[in-house]
Amino acid sequence: MFEQSIATLAQQLRDKEISSVELTRLFLDRIQALDPQLNSFITISDELALQQAKAADTAIANGSSSSLTGIPIAHKDLFCTQGVLTTCGSKMLNNFIPPYESTVTGRIQQAGAVMLGKTNMDEFAMGSSNENSFYGAVKNPWNLNKVPGGSSGGSAAAVAAGLAVAATGTDTGGSIRQPASFCGITGLKPTYGRVSRFGMIAYASSLDQGGPMAKSAEDCAHLMQAIAGFDDKDSTSSETPKEDYLANLNAPLAGLKIGLPKEYFGDGLDTKVADTIMAAVKEFEKLGATVKEVSLPNLQLSIPSYYVIAPSEASSNLSRFDGVRFGHRCDDPKDLLDMYTRSRAEGFGTEVQKRIMVGTYALSEGYYDAYYLKAQKIRRLIKEDFVNTLNEVDVIMGPVAPTTAFDLGSKTNDPVAMYLEDIYTLSVNLAGIPAMSVPAGFVDNMPVGLQIMGNYFAEAKLLNIAHQYQQNTDWHLQTPTMAKGA
Ligand code: GLN
């Protein structure tokens, strides 16, 4: 039951083969039995989930349901959920109960879905391994000694282990795609502006984008149906009409032009991961696609420019956490300044503090031109690389990450090694284009994700391409052994 697709479960709910209350109980039981091994949830909202499930059963009985009605879903703990603790993985917010709902979670709720709880994540979404959470590291369900990826590691692990049918994530520099790749699930980072950021706790506002994480492209499409589209509460939300993400899933791929950027297959890429990606590309050739080598010459510059821009925006966004309005406040402050500094020193973890310092430095007078402005110029070059290449080909394919999931603790003392993990994902956010991670095989029993990058607002096309691949392969249907234990 826990391995079924959204469409199948929706049909079973409509046919009264199972009720949403039963389905929700099944997932809550699985969370209770298996999550102690994974630590993928920060909050389990069981009472609310059962109330929502009851309401969903009534809606289904009345014939007023959508494909998400009654489906148990988990949300990254970065989306504000009204009345439900929202921590963003930080001690700073370990007492924060939002008075309002984010647009993404609100739309999913309106579609009738059940919220099982809030998933663990790197603090303020800063990380690539989910080891930066105040609530402890998340484990990879394929191997409990390995990281699930980050920062949406809790969502990825929960879906991979069958603790939720699907989940939400956010992607500032790879945080949907890289954990999806490491945990063997499907994730979509939409075009910047396609999904509202209202109620998402900001990390780097010009890069952040929420999106679906699920077992298949088809399930991601069901979530996109609910969450995509203009929102007047987000000033950067796009007015471009949203597409029907389900309508073209079955379109044939004959004639599809795929570009393989040579920079994505150079030094640093694990050779077995490279072989897995090339095998996936062969599969697309069988489906009628043609492949050509392309170039994204500024790829190497994405790490230095991202790691200036993202911390700069973060240093500004995180200045609101001052112990005054919400969040952690230190005990017995001497005066106002003491309260600010001690509240922030106690509330933020090491990685967050490091990034605030880097960002504040990059934005300070005298350094702004040398760092921030320079990084913005590089950002435009990176964007132009994609625009030019996507004039030649329909989509770009490559790996999501240079390796499969690494051992817990193996990179925590080496920030450069950790940042290098993001080499294939950051540029997509800098350009603002959409991209997916799709399960494409295994290396030494750990999942490998194929990255598919498309033009602005090409989400429906990406989902179609990924769906066709999944109709012809079964990598996305594999289940980790630990998930079968309950
Ligand atoms: N790993 C990147 C970072 O730490 C990306 C994180 C994200 O996408 N939220 O900034």
Q: What mean pLDDT is predicted for residues 115-136?
A: 98
Contacts within 8 Å (CB) and 24+ apart, 232-240:
233/103, 233/196, 233/198, 233/199, 234/103, 234/196, 234/197, 234/198, 236/192, 236/193, 236/197, 236/205, 237/193, 237/196, 237/197, 237/198, 238/191, 238/193, 238/194, 238/457, 240/193, 240/194, 240/457
> From CA 371, how far away is CA 320, in angstroms rounded?
23
Distance 307 CA to ligand 1 centre (A): 9
Q: Is 102 a catalytic residue?
A: no
Mutate to test the pocket of ligand 1, among 77, 123, 128 (most ligand atoms within 8 A of CB): 128
Mean pLDDT value across residues 109-137 = 98
| Residue 175 bears catalytic tag | yes
Residue 334 has pLDDT above 80, yes or no: yes
End-to-end CA distance of the chain: 12
Please tell me if the CB atom of residue 214 comes closer than 6 angstroms to any atom of ligand 1. Answer: no
What is residue 325's predicted lDDT score, i.e. its pLDDT? 86
Q: Residues 382-405: what's their mean pLDDT? A: 98
Look up the pTM and report it: 0.98
**What pLDDT band is residue 192 in, cutting at 50, 70 and 90?**
very high
pLDDT in tens, 416-454: 888 888 999 999 999 999 999 999 999 999 999 999 999
Q: Which of 19, 76, 90, 129 is catalytic?
A: 76
pLDDT score of 379 more than 90? yes
For ligand 1, the distance from its centroid to the CA atom of residue 175, given in whole angstroms, is: 6
Q: What mean pLDDT is predicted for residues 56-68?
A: 95
- Give the confidence band of 365 by pLDDT, cuts at 50, 70, 90: confident
Q: What is the pLDDT of residues 211-270, one digit of tens each?
A: 999 999 999 999 999 999 999 999 999 999 999 999 999 999 999 999 999 999 998 999
Q: What average pLDDT does the structure give for the chain?
A: 97
Average of pLDDT values for 26-46?
Answer: 98
% of the chain surpassing 70 pLDDT: 100
pLDDT of residue 486: 63
Q: What is the mean pLDDT of residues 187-194?
A: 98
| Tokens 């095998």, residue located | 279
Cα 239 to ligand 1 centre (Å): 27
